Amino acid sequence: MEVGAEIGIRIDQTLTQDATGTTAFLLFESMGAGRVQTDVSVSYVDHNMAGFGPENHNDHLYLQTVAGAGGVYHSRPGNGICHQVHLERFGKPGATLLGSDSHTPTGGGIGMIAIGAGGLDVAVAMAGGPFYLKCPKVVGVRLTGKLGPWVAAKDVILQLLGILTTKGNVGWTVEYFGPGVATLSVPQRATITNMGAELGVTTSLFPSDEQTRRFLAAQGREADWRELSADADAEYDRVIEIGLSKLTPMAACPSSPDNIKAISDIAGLEVRQVAMGSCTNSSFTDLMMAARVLKGRRVHPMVEFAIAPGSRQVLDMLAANGALADLIACGARILESGCGPCIGQGFSPADGAVSLRTFNRNFAGRSGTRGDQVYLVSPETAVAAVLTGRITDPRDLPELLGVKYPQVLMPKCFTIDDSMIAPPLSPAEAARVEIVRGPTIVVPETPTPLPEDLQGRVLLKCGDKITTDHIMPAGTFLKLRSNVPQYAKVVFNCFNEPGKPTFAERALALKSSGMAGVIVAGESYGQGSSREHAALCPMYLGVRVVLARGIERIHKANLINFCIVPVEFADAADYDRIEADDEIRIAGLVDAVRSADEVEIENVAKSMRFRGLLRLSARDREILLAAGLLSYTRGRTDARATTEGRPYPGRTGG
């Protein structure tokens, strides 16, 4: 393997969640693959839990029945957040995991190569196909020392985000090593690898060691353990040293996960809301720490406090040992074991209110409140604000309130109850399953071939760090994900102006005229969620080219999968020479996609020409020329079935 070269890896496990899974399984069905070919595939329901209208329950029933028909585990609503449950019940050191959620790298905390991807890539993996990526560079993060009282694993990844930021890390992975690693439990490691997604790296990885063995043994899965670590003389493309003993509590300030400040620098700011949960910090040890600090105390009268346990296992154990009662007694609101507020599904803050959250993202408006003031913090910093009503350095709690730091040990045995996980059916049983498809579930449209010569118009010019939340809003709109024509109506909803045609209306009008839509963007376009709808819905609206200073890995793959050509400015200054509504021409687009590394772009409105870069692998080009990954896969299926006389894909390696 050489850095930058395309590699294909065999995928042992996959996961989907309901916000991305419905589309993924519809595409999987479209391939005609039948039964999954992975060792383990799990369909989770954890995002769209609140049923305001029939859409979410329609999705749940479809996912339950299509999992039964396809040989897939199904984690039912209420069983927990996919990454927390997968860590508990399925994660396996040394295995590869591909998930249709950007925080799939959580599995790196248990020694997995766990990668987030679009649903179509996951569907191909479920059908037995390899996952393709560019061989990455590796950042080695050497950990020394040990975390002090009131300093958390969250502060480790916030420190790294302050160093690397959220952009410029495409094509890298992070590997943690050094003597400090042994002091971190699996849940602590999972917090760190989870937020590696915010760095924009391909994945993050911890070794599998005695801590890993203990965690798996406590989950009744010690047989899944194997020891894995880097060679003593391993070389890294870059090394960053983090002394755990020297870390202090930190926060990601509004409105980006890399806007890092020390808690001591922002202490005193009034807080009106605190939320603990998400796939980042909702483990048993996280919530036990909070319960012990808050036992016998009360939530500050001006603070609303909510807790969302990461899994049913966590909730059961808190209920059994009395910690849940302590949390309720202190004034906490107990939310479902799901993603909830992290994706704007309830518990939105008031206008102008500061909200502290133990989540992984604080993109503007993600909470469901326009102009929100969301700070990402550790559970320790969160409970300090719960008690004081202000951003408070938790290390000051012993002096302020006489609170001692509680040492929460990893349980020797977790409560095991998999009754909310339906196991795969046998082929004979699966053949009898009737797949339930409600009227709000619509099979996605297949992309059309690229035009030989593109004539288009710039529908939108946006700036740096445009996230998939900007492109496809979450919150109350998530229930539309199974119906692309409806969901597409809110593409770039945050840029729509009252009384003016929406982005979707302008795009459809342009499409009907026979012209293509073009999006122009700055650096780090498409960061954040793996949601392929950020490519699928623009494709439906007629967008054929994204022209940007830089495009993030998962989103770039999704654009290619849905036959939208990702082009980068050869000269970043050309970004300033193009405006919304400019007419764009690209002569010989198909020829360029076929074999060129550059394409000439004509801005008709300004009578100028400039160059764009096509950073495409040979496989990327084949997919674009085939009109997207689904058509590409179908073509290979037909060809292989004809030449080898058997169904494709089978179990393939890289």
Q: pLDDT digit string (tens) for 99-108? A: 999 999 999 9
Fold match flag (1-134 vs 255-399): yes
pTM value? 0.91
In what order do the strands lie in the sheet containing 40-44?
113-116, 96-99, 13-17, 40-44, 73-75, 421-422
To 5 degrees, how large is the angle CA 502–CA 466–CA 456?
55
What is the distance between the alpha carbons of residues 508 and 517, in angstroms, rounded to a whole number?
Answer: 9
Whose CA is closest to 47, among 529, 527, 539? 529
For residue 637, the model assigns a pLDDT of: 58
The number of CA neighbours under 13 Å toward the Cβ of 593 is 29
Q: CA 177: distance to chain centroid? A: 24
Torsion of CA 288, 291, 292, 296, to 10 degrees: -170
Token pair of 206 as six digits = 């911890």
Provide the pairing of β-strand 273-276 with 354-357: parallel
| Active-site position among 292, 531, 549, 555 | 531
Report the C-alpha gap between 378 and 392 in whole angstroms. Answer: 12
Which CATH superfamily is 255-399 part of? Answer: Aconitase, domain 3 (3.30.499.10)
The per-residue pLDDT for 605 is 86
114 in Cβ contact with 106 (< 8 Å):
yes
Is CATH 3.40.50.11540 the classification given to domain 1-134?
no
- Residue 562 pLDDT > 80: yes
Pairing, β 421-422 against β 73-75: antiparallel
- Residues 308-324 pLDDT 10s: 999 999 999 999 999 99
Cα 386 to chain centroid distance, Å, stands at 28
Task: Note the pLDDT tens digit of each residue in 326-356.
Answer: 999 999 999 999 999 998 889 999 999 999 9
The one catalytic residue among 102, 208, 524, 529: 529
pLDDT tens string 140-177: 999 999 999 999 999 999 999 999 999 889 999 999 99
How confident is the model over 120-149, as a mean pLDDT?
96
**Tokens standing for 200?**
């924009």
In terms of pLDDT, which residue wins out, 445 or 201?
A: 201
Residue 474 pLDDT class (50, 70, 90 cuts): confident
Residue 641 has pLDDT above 50, yes or no: no
Give dist(CA 400, CA 380) in Å, integer. 15
Alpha carbons 19 and 481: distance in angstroms, whole number: 7
CATH code at 136-247: 3.40.1060.10
**Cα 126 from Cα 270, distance rounded (Å):** 48
Tokens for 52, please give them: 């305001």
Q: Based on the number of CB atoms within 10 Å of its own CB, is 198 exposed (0-12), middle (13-18) or buried (19 or more)?
A: buried
Checking if the pLDDT of 71 tops 80, the result is yes
Partnered with residue 262 across adjacent β-strands are 250
Q: What pLDDT is recorded for position 638?
A: 56
Is 393 annotated as catalytic? no
Domain with residues 454-616, CATH architecture:
Alpha-Beta Barrel (3.20)
User: Can you give the pLDDT at residue 167?
Assistant: 87
C-alpha pair distances (Å), 237 with each of 144, 171, 172: 19, 12, 9
pLDDT at 642 exceeding the cut of 80: no
Mean local confidence (pLDDT), 41-66: 94
- The ranges assigned to domains in the chain are 1-134, 136-247, 255-399, 454-616
In the annotation, is 577 catalytic?
no
* Token pair 């049913």 in the structure block, residue: 312
**Mean pLDDT value of segment 630-642:** 68
Known catalytic membership, residue 571:
no
Active-site residue (options: 41, 47, 372, 437): 47
Give 584's strand partners: 456, 603
Mean pLDDT, residues 30-38: 90
> What is the rounded distance in angstroms from the CA atom of residue 34 to the CA atom of residue 28?
8
Q: Residue 478 above 90 pLDDT?
A: no
Q: Which of 18, 41, 43, 46 is catalytic?
A: 46
Active-site entry in 18, 101, 469, 574: 101
Q: Per the residue annotation, which of 86, 89, 189, 361 is the catalytic one?
A: 361
Contact of 375 with 369, CB cutoff 8 Å? no
The C-alpha atoms of residue 574 and residue 611 are separated, in whole angstroms, by 9
- For the question of residue 361 being annotated catalytic, the response is yes
Residue 529 appears among annotated catalytic residues: yes
CB 104, CB 131: distance < 8 Å: no
Q: How far is CA 529 from CA 24, 161, 519, 587, in A?
A: 15, 17, 19, 33
Alpha-carbon dihedral sign for residues 638, 23, 77, 93: positive
Cis peptide preceding 379, ω within 30 of 0 = no
